[in-house]
């Protein structure tokens, strides 16, 4: 079945450093979503990417969908302590399935 992997699993950065998490699907995706889960919280929807090669920005966050629609990345510029949490990608498989498969997540810690 469809698998979605993320790397790295954990990342510690100094405040002000950049951070990137990568998401790879075993199958071609119709679209991909990104979520953030703060410690002790629930996942919160950040963004959805649909088109091949699509790039979207939200302030310091840049999201990219690969040309082959099998991978995606989230880049945070100049991290802040408020960026702490686990970032999940979630892919919807191309071909009519309705469910999103969540990636394994990348836990980000930001050291002040």
Partner 1 sequence: DSGVTQTPKHLITATGQRVTLRCSPRSGDLSVYWYQQSLDQGLQFLIQYYNGEERAKGNILERFSAQQFPDLHSELNLSSLELGDSALYFCASSHDSNYGYTFGSGTRLTVV
Report the distance separating Cα 1 and Cα 59, nearest Å: 35
Residue 13 vs 50, nearer CB to partner 1: 50
- Kindly compute the dihedral angle of the four CA atoms of residues 13, 16, 18, 23, in this order, to the nearest 10 degrees: 60
Q: Among 7, 44, 55, 111, which residue sits at the site for partner 1 (rule: CB under 8 A)?
A: 44
> Per CB under 8 A, which region of 42-50, 54-62, 66-74, 77-85 contacts partner 1?
42-50
Residue 60 vs 107, nearer CB to partner 1: 107
What residues does 106 pair with on adjacent strands?
Answer: 87
What residues does 92 pair with on adjacent strands?
Answer: 31, 100
The answer for residues whose C-beta is within 8 angstroms of residue 106's C-beta and 6 or more apart is 6, 7, 8, 9, 10, 11, 21, 86, 87
Q: Among 20, 28, 48, 62, which residue sits at the site for partner 1 (rule: CB under 8 A)?
A: 48
Residues between 89 and 108 with contacts to partner 1, criterion CB under 8 A? 90, 92, 97-105
> Per CB under 8 A, which region of 14-22, 44-52, 58-66, 74-82 contacts partner 1?
44-52
């Amino acid at each position: 079945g469809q698998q979605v992997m993320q790397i790295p699993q954990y990342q510690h950065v100094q405040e002000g450093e950049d951070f990137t998490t990568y998401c790879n699907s075993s199958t071609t995706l119709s679209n991909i979503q990104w979520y953030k889960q703060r410690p002790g919280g629930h996942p919160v929807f950040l963004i959805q990417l649909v088109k091949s090669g699509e790039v979207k920005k939200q302030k310091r966050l840049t999201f990219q969908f690969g040309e082959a629609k099998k991978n995606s990345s989230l880049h945070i510029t100049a991290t802040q302590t408020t960026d702490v949490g686990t970032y999940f990608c979630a892919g919807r498989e191309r071909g009519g399935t309705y469910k999103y498969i969540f990636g394994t997540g990348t836990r980000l810690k930001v050291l002040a």
